């Protein structure tokens, strides 16, 4: 290294050292014309540490090995053990010359430094465990992992994930704030055997890799850290209980010391924690993906848009985190300018109920394909056979159809299999129950279902709901059921609102009643004949003088 | 928000559509503005958002019923969807700016005012962010599960009511412990969002435009926040939550003793009274949690206006505050907030007397 830049010039003459003065100093002082150049002077302490040092001769490895090695890699500081002594040195310049100042670290200082180093390493490992343990999202865990390693362990760190085909994904952090990711072929990885081994979980200890071995991975490694210029590379496997989770490549730039024993041990400890977090996140992500696919197949489909009809729905499963439910509903446009629908509730909740709900939905949709006109009663009888053959569960269900008529009203036909009777909000603000009773579906071989037909005039609405609404326990005491009466009153207060906002309002009132307490699956389906334009008389429902009225402004 | 190309005439017309729950009219008007060259963001923030503030005011002043307010809000929501869809159709959106970013928009549990978060989601989408929206009243489990499943870079949390601040705090902690930074927004976080940072939020934005700009100028967002909620405040809050049913019953009884006219009311009306008093209790608890009396006095101010608009003597608030103070002598933190409430009510009373 020639950073002093004076190699081409005549040596600068400096005043003779006041040697006697420097001999009083405990620190070893060595002055040369360059970092590894000719020795111009040194004090008594330097002579004690480096007895082969000679004036006028170069700072060679044989004369003063720590100085020569630090000079060779351009380091400004070093901390090393030389002939049984722990030495701490730094490079300065004075009068155009290079001055090495070297201090012997005493055993007490050495112990203190070791303790501080140990404390620092445990803090780093603890931070690693905390930050990686918090995330179960695989992508986020990988990104956090490569970021934590920089700068503590390396100038840049790369994680290569296990391959699932002919290519695999890598993520890199560093140098500096640089973040990137990409893909690399399995073929290139296999040209670096230590990385390939780490990916297969066959590299239990971190392995130092020579620059030329890394050539095949050039695209993965940051430009300024291309092998040949690096301070070194370390390959560490990431596994959890033998299951490979990835390979970690730590890269150091030319200005940084190579990996020593302590660094390698720390990298190993880091990888143990990181591997566990990464493997856990990978497993969680696979399961989360499976669940998401199942959730999507079980969730109600979006409501169709049908001319002359307004629809609304709300759906709040008990297992909110999983978003699966034993409540189910489906609305499909029918061939004769209307809709067919069903709405039900399987006994029990959670995954088991959701599976039966899925069967019921599929069966009814298949039945719908077998006829041109809706036949709610026939559908219920066939469904009863299906549920009985399915096992020990039951379901309640309302099936039906609705058709917009020329005069703006809607005719609705429903058949009931043991479900709560629908409510109807009339245009005079009254709420009626639709009388239509039937046996629960899947309970007996010879069930008794009934059907009924009624009309909704413009603005009128039918509400279907699951027992999660009326059986919600809460209120002031926290134990009272929401109940039919409150639901009917709430619905009466909704006159003038659209089908979608009424469904949401019922969900809101139930949820507020619950005030965060656990609940059963909650579902609501509303069907409305659109009000005549300009004829929505939005009456004042709350008499003046009442301090109450639920406080829920939509905006404040 | 003048000078955006939205005239007072347009505004009045849109307000009339909301008042009449005229969805076709509102959609036609708003989409027409986008077609005539106005940006969707201007229409959402300059027309729909202020109109919705008016809707809330009409409800608070007693002019509109809850049903009418909800019918109008539904029209606003449909308008937001239609404006966003129209803007995507014209492809005039500033492309690519936030295309790397994945934002999850959610309301804390107990928060049902979905429209502001709905507008935020669309504004961020129009700026190129990938946005998922969980809607209203999101449970902590639902939020955590979504964060782990989908790995957003940021959670944007909306809170419009200060009594929900303790729940917002739990949501913020949930996200941050999973390593995801949180941007807080909504009037629930107080004037200039003064309660957002004490709860540990990493960012605060006063509106959707500022949220988008803050994210675009500094991406990815970083975990920087730190909760300064005191352990003592949490304990005092927890005690109030535990005692909620008893305190509620006691205050409602005191209210009926002080105002015998309330006794003859129906069951539904009794429940509405209880809910009203319940909100005051929630606000007291939130004030204790935040250690800031303004959470409580702010709710008293809203309540006083609400009652006056419905020809009810706001003096009943004093009755409630006194009843609570009688039961909470063991909790210095709660008493301190109640005293502040009493002072605030006394000052208001004097103002009224001076005016009268």
pLDDT over 90 percentage in chain A = 45
Does a structural domain hold residue A296?
A: no
Q: How many CA atoms lie within 13 A of B356 on its CB side?
A: 6
Question: Residue B162 has which token pair?
Answer: 């200060």
* Of A548, A547, A467, A551, residue with least CA distance to A510: A467
- Residue B184's beta-bridge partner residues? B157, B204
Question: Residue B129 has which token pair?
Answer: 């962010």
Please tell me which residue of chain A has the smallest CA distance to B135. Answer: A504
Q: Determine how β-strand B130-133 pairs with β-strand B154-158.
A: unpaired
Q: What are A252-274's pLDDT values in tens digits?
A: 887 788 888 889 999 999 999 99
* Shared domain check, A412 and A339: yes
Rounded to 10 deg, the angle between the A376-390 and A350-369 helix axes is 140
Please tell me which residue of chain A has the smallest CA distance to B59. Answer: A553
* Shared domain check, A508 and A475: yes
Does a structural domain hold residue A311?
A: yes
Residue of B21, B53, B245 lying closest to A496 (CB–CB): B21
Can you tell me the mean pLDDT for A439-457?
93
Residue of A536, A542, A553 lying closest to B56 (CB–CB): A553
Count of CB atoms situated within 10 Å of the CB of A104: 18
**Cβ B115–A555 below 8 Å, yes or no?**
yes
User: Are the CB atoms for A256 and A150 separated by under 8 Å?
Assistant: no
| CATH for A177 | 3.30.450.40
Residues in chain A with CB shorter than 8 Å from the CB of B144 are 321
Query: CB-based contact (8 Å) between A321 and chain B?
Result: yes
> Distance between CA A40 and CA A522 in Å, rounded?
88
Query: CB-based contact (8 Å) between A61 and chain B?
Result: no
> Distance between CA A286 and CA A307 in Å, rounded?
42
* Shared domain check, A151 and A271: yes
Task: Give the rounded distance of the alpha carbon of A486 from its chain centre.
Answer: 41
| Final residue belonging to a domain, choices A44, A74, A105 | A105
* Shared domain check, A51 and A145: no
Query: CB-based contact (8 Å) between B151 and chain A?
Result: yes
* Shared domain check, A163 and A94: no
The CA angle A186-A188-A191, to the nearest 5 degrees, is 110
Q: Which pLDDT band holds residue A546 (cuts at 50, 70, 90)? A: very low
Under DSSP, the state recorded for A234 is: E
Q: What are B123-165's pLDDT values in tens digits?
A: 999 999 999 999 889 988 889 999 999 999 999 999 999 999 9
Q: Report which secondary-structure segment, H or E, holds B102.
A: strand B102-107
* Shared domain check, A397 and A264: no
Q: What are A151-174's pLDDT values in tens digits?
A: 899 999 999 999 988 999 999 998
Give me the number of domains chain A comprises.
3
| CATH for A306 | 3.60.40.10
Tell me the three state secondary structure of residue B177.
helix
* Shared domain check, A264 and A321: no
* Shared domain check, A418 and A308: yes
Does a structural domain hold residue A216?
A: yes
Give me the pLDDT at residue B225, please.
Answer: 93
Dmax (CA) for chain B in angstroms is 64
Shortest CA gap B74–chain A (Å): 6
* Shared domain check, A327 and A258: no
| Final residue belonging to a domain, choices A290, A315, A331 | A290
Cβ under 8 Å to A: B residues 79-138:
109-110, 112-113, 115-116, 136-137
Q: Give chain B's domains with CATH numbers.
A: 1-92 (1.10.1240.10), 94-229 (3.40.50.280), 231-355 (1.10.490.20)
Q: What is the mean pLDDT of chain A?
A: 86
Does a structural domain hold residue A348?
A: yes
The complex scores an ipTM of 0.88
Cβ under 8 Å to A: B residues 165-184:
177-180
* Shared domain check, A250 and A128: yes
> Distance between CA A424 and CA A175 in Å, rounded?
67
* Shared domain check, A121 and A98: no
* Of B244, B289, B138, residue with least CA distance to A475: B244
Does a structural domain hold residue A433?
A: yes
Residues in chain B with CB shorter than 8 Å from the CB of A519 are none
Instruction: Collect contacts of A68-76 with beta carbons under 8 A, ≥24 apart.
Output: A68/A36, A70/A35, A71/A1, A71/A34, A71/A35, A71/A36, A72/A1, A72/A36, A73/A231, A73/A254, A73/A257, A74/A1, A74/A3, A74/A35, A74/A254, A74/A255, A75/A255, A75/A257
> Distance between CA B145 and CA B22 in Å, rounded?
38
* Shared domain check, A214 and A120: yes
| CATH for A52 | 3.30.450.20
Q: DSSP string covering B127-166, please?
A: TT-EEEE--SS--HHHHHHHHHHH--SEEEEE---GGGHH
Instruction: Collect contacts of B292-298 with beta carbons under 8 A, ≥24 apart.
Output: B292/B195, B293/B336, B293/B337, B293/B340, B293/B341, B294/B190, B295/B162, B295/B163, B295/B165, B295/B190, B295/B195, B296/B337, B296/B338, B296/B340, B296/B341, B297/B340, B297/B341, B297/B344, B298/B162
Q: Which pLDDT band holds residue B91 (cuts at 50, 70, 90)? A: low
pLDDT greater than 50 at residue A442: yes
Residue-number span of the structural domain to which A135 is assigned: 110-290
Residues in chain A with CB shorter than 8 Å from the CB of B52 are 554-555
Query: CB-based contact (8 Å) between B50 and chain A?
Result: no
Under DSSP, the state recorded for A324 is: B
The top-scoring range by mean pLDDT among A95-104, A135-144, B279-288 is B279-288
Q: What are B298-355's pLDDT values in tens digits?
A: 999 999 999 998 888 888 999 999 999 999 999 999 999 999 999 999 998 887 777 7
pLDDT greater than 70 at residue A222: no
Does a structural domain hold residue A556?
A: no
| Final residue belonging to a domain, choices A251, A269, A290 | A290
Does a structural domain hold residue A295?
A: no
Which among A425, A534, A546, A550 is the top mutation candidate for probing chain B, defined by the most B β-carbons within 10 Å of its own β-carbon?
Answer: A546
Query: CB-based contact (8 Å) between A428 and chain B?
Result: no
Under DSSP, the state recorded for B22 is: -
User: Are the CB atoms for A499 and A312 separated by under 8 Å?
Assistant: yes
Query: CB-based contact (8 Å) between B315 and chain A?
Result: no
Residues in chain B with CB shorter than 8 Å from the CB of A312 are none
Say how many CB pairs under 8 Å bridge A and B.
176
Does a structural domain hold residue A14?
A: no
Residues in chain B with CB shorter than 8 Å from the CB of A550 are 66, 272, 275
Residue of A505, A540, A551 lying closest to B65 (CB–CB): A540
Residue with the bigger pLDDT between A353 and A266: it is A266
Give me the pLDDT at residue A26, please.
Answer: 86
pLDDT greater than 70 at residue B38: yes
């Amino acid at each position: 290294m020639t950073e002093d830049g004076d190699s081409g010039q005549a040596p600068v003459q400096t005043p003779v050292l006041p040697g006697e003065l420097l001999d009083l100093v405990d620190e070893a002082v060595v002055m040369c014309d360059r970092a590894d150049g000719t020795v111009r002077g040194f004090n008594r302490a330097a002579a004690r540490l480096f007895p082969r040092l000679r004036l006028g001769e170069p700072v060679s490895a044989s004369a003063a090995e720590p100085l020569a090695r630090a000079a060779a890699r351009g380091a400004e500081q070093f901390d090393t053990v030389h002939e049984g002594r722990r030495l701490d040195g730094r490079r300065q310049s004075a009068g155009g010359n290079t001055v090495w100042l070297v201090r012997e670290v005493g055993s007490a200082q050495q112990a203190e430094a070791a303790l501080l180093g140990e404390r620092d390493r445990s803090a780093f490992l603890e931070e690693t465990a905390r930050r990686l343990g918090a995330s179960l999202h695989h992508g986020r865990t990988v990104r956090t992992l490569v970021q934590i390693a920089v700068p503590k362990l390396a100038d840049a760190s790369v994680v290569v994930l296990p391959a699932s085909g002919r290519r695999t994904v890598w993520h890199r952090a560093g140098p500096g704030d640089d973040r990137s990711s990409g893909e690399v072929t399995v073929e290139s990885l296999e040209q670096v055997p230590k990385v390939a081994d780490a990916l297969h979980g066959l590299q239990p200890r971190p392995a130092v890799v020579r620059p030329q071995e890394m050539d095949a991975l050039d695209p993965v490694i940051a430009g300024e850290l291309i092998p040949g210029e690096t301070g070194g590379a370390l390959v560490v496997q990431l596994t959890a209980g033998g299951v490979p989770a990835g390979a970690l490549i730590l890269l150091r730039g030319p200005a940084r010391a190579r990996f020593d024993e302590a660094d390698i041990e720390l990298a190993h400890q880091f990888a143990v924690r990181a591997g566990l977090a990464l493997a856990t996140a990978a497993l969680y992500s696979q399961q989360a993906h499976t669940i998401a696919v199942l959730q999507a197949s079980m969730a109600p489909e979006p409501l169709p848009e049908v001319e002359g009809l307004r629809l609304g729905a709300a759906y709040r499963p008990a297992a909110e985190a999983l978003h699966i439910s034993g409540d189910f509903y489906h609305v499909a446009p029918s061939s004769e300018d209307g809709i067919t629908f069903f709405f039900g509730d399987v006994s029990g909740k959670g995954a088991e109920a959701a599976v039966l709900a899925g069967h019921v939905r599929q069966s009814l949709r298949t039945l719908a394909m077998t006829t041109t006109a809706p036949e709610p009663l026939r559908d219920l009888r066939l469904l009863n056979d299906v549920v009985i053959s399915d096992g020990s569960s039951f379901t309640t269900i309302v099936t039906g159809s609705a058709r917009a008529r020329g005069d703006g009203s809607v005719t609705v036909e429903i058949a009931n299999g043991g479900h709560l009777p629908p409510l109807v909000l009339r245009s005079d603000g009254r709420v009626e129950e639709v009388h239509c009773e039937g046996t629960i579906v899947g309970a007996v071989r010879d069930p008794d279902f009934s059907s009924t037909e009624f009309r909704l005039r413009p603005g009128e609405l039918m509400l279907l709901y699951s027992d999660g609404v009326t059986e919600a326990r809460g209120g002031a005491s926290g134990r009272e059921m929401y109940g039919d009466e409150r639901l009917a009153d709430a619905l009466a207060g909704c006159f003038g609102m659209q089908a979608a906002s009424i469904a949401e309002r019922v969900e809101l009132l139930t949820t507020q009643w619950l005030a965060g307490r656990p609940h059963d699956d909650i579902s609501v389906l509303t069907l409305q004949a659109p009000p005549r334009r300009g004829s929505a008389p939005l009456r004042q429902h709350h008499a003046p003088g009442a301090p109450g009225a639920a406080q829920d402004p939509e905006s404040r | 928000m003048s000078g955006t190309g939205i005239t007072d005439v347009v505004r009045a017309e849109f307000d009339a559509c909301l008042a009449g729950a005229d969805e076709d009219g509102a959609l036609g008007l708003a989409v027409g503005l986008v077609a005539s060259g106005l940006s969707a963001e201007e229409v959402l923030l300059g027309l729909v958002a202020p109109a919705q503030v008016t809707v809330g005011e009409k409800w608070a002043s007693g002019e509109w019923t809850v049903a009418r307010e909800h019918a109008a809000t539904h029209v606003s929501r449909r308008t937001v969807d239609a404006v966003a869809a129209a803007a995507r159709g014209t492809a005039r959106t500033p492309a690519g700016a936030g295309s790397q970013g994945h934002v999850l928009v959610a309301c804390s549990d107990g928060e049902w005012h979905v429209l502001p978060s709905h507008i935020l989601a669309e504004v961020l989408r129009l700026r190129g962010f990938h946005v998922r929206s969980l809607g209203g009243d999101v449970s902590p489990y639902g939020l955590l599960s979504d964060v782990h499943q989908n790995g957003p870079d940021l959670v944007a949390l909306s809170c419009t009511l200060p009594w929900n601040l303790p729940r917002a705090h739990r949501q913020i902690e949930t996200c941050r412990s999973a390593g995801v930074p949180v941007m807080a927004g909504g009037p629930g976080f107080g004037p200039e969002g003064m309660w957002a940072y004490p709860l540990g939020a990493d960012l605060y934005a006063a509106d959707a435009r500022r949220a988008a700009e803050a994210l675009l100028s500094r991406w990815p967002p970083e975990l920087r926040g730190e909760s300064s909620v005191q352990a003592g405040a949490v304990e005092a809050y927890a005690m109030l939550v535990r005692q909620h049913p008893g305190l509620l019953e006691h205050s409602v009884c005191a209210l009926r003793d002080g105002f015998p006219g309330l006794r003859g009311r129906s069951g539904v009306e009794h429940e509405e009274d209880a809910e009203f008093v319940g909100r005051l209790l929630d606000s007291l608890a939130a004030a204790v949690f935040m250690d800031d009396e303004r959470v409580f006095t702010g709710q008293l101010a809203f309540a006083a206006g609400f009652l006056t608009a419905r020809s009810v003597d706001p003096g009943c608030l004093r009755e409630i505050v006194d009843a609570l103070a009688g039961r909470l002598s063991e909790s210095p933190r709660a008493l301190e907030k109640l005293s502040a409430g009493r002072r605030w009510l006394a000052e208001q009373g004097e103002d009224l007397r001076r005016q009268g």
